Chain A
């Protein structure tokens, strides 16, 4: 969903940049509460993992592919503030080094793929995980639904920004339907990857899943028989 240069006009791109910088600033403050010496390296891992999996485009329909956005996954694993920073790092590296996502569109891309997916993904996850019975299945199921919903909502955020500052005159209604439709399919892939990853870490180190803190059942930690 990386927006290239020239899709969105200069004023809206600039405004999106300002919002993105403000969002990052809030996250830098908030991340302090989520990170300590033990969990800080996890943030590096999550950023690297999201970058890697974003390279793995999977087919979703004839001639169309999708890839993980990773906001819901990152938020669940390392916390929403840190998670948004991780995805923003991925988008920055992709834009600067890999020519993926326009530099003038970096604000738009951070809003869509980092801030929106994290906020939506984490709220849905916590909402579900809080009302469901405390179990690993609930955590994984909540992660699945959160990831699934985060992707079409991110595509709606893009459509909203395009409606404000798109450089081409397009039928917004049909663009909205097309974007949400294809991103529901991509969201299914996002959900499978997110649930699988969260489930894998829950199986070996539930204490390292930020979103499961205070929700997950107490697990007796033994390092002998649970090697990945």
Chain B
């Protein structure tokens, strides 16, 4: 990643981490549009519990962390990290190699997660 792209990615990641780690606490907890319509109109009669409903991050909360703000914030940070690594790894995997600004030092960056994302 060129020097200037790195700046944008860094600033953007800080913003994403702040939004997910801090801002998410202030989000509305009302059901979203689909959930509300589902309740009102009865689309949800067949709904089943999520397969991974007991997962450590299920429901955007870290299991075992009691404080809501901390629990939700940590889950948000984890999600931002996971999506960045997976999204970045796929992009690095499919990109045109050698095109754009080539910088060898970048190989320690998103490319390190590449193996895990190729499924």
Cβ of B91 and Cβ of A1 under 8 Å apart?
A: no
**Cβ-defined partner of A52 (8 Å) among B5, B42, B55, B80:** B80
Closest beta carbon of chain A to B86's beta carbon, Å: 5
Closest Cβ of chain B to A113, distance in Å, is: 10
Residue from the list B1, B24, B38, B85 in contact with A38, Cβ < 8 A: B1
Q: Give the complex CA separation of A94 and B76 in angstroms.
A: 11
Known: A39-B100, A59-B30, A93-B83. A168 touches B36 (CB 8 A): no
Interface string of B28-58 (1 = CB under 8 A from A): 1111111011101111111111111101011
The number of chain B residues touching the other chain, given as a range, is 35 or more
B5 pairs with A55, CB closer than 8 A: no
- Contact (A7, B47) CB under 8 Å given A35-B95, A57-B30: yes
- Contact A35 B94, CB 8 Å, known A48-B87, A182-B33: yes
A residues 1-38 in Cβ contact with B at 8 Å: 1-7, 28, 31-33, 35-38
Q: Which of B1, B30, B48, B76 contacts A40 (CB 8 A)?
A: B1
A12 to chain B, nearest CB (A): 12
B window 1-47: CB within 8 A of A: 1-2, 4-6, 8-9, 11-13, 15-17, 19-20, 23-24, 27-34, 36-38, 40-47
- Partner of B29 from the list A57, A92, A162 (CB cut-off 8 Å) is A57
Q: Which residues of A are at the interface with B, using a C-beta cutoff of 8 A?
A: 1-7, 28, 31-33, 35-53, 55-60, 63-67, 82, 85-86, 89-90, 92-94, 96-100, 102-103, 155, 158, 162, 166-168, 170-171, 174-175, 178-179, 182-183, 185-186, 201, 204-205, 208, 223, 228
Extra 15 A-B pairs, beta carbons < 8 Å, given A56-B23, A178-B40: A1-B33, A5-B49, A6-B46, A32-B95, A38-B1, A38-B99, A39-B95, A41-B9, A45-B13, A55-B20, A55-B23, A89-B90, A175-B41, A182-B33, A208-B8
Q: Chain B: residues with CB nearer than 8 A to chain A?
A: 1-2, 4-6, 8-9, 11-13, 15-17, 19-20, 23-24, 27-34, 36-38, 40-53, 55, 57-60, 75-76, 78-92, 94-103, 106, 109-110
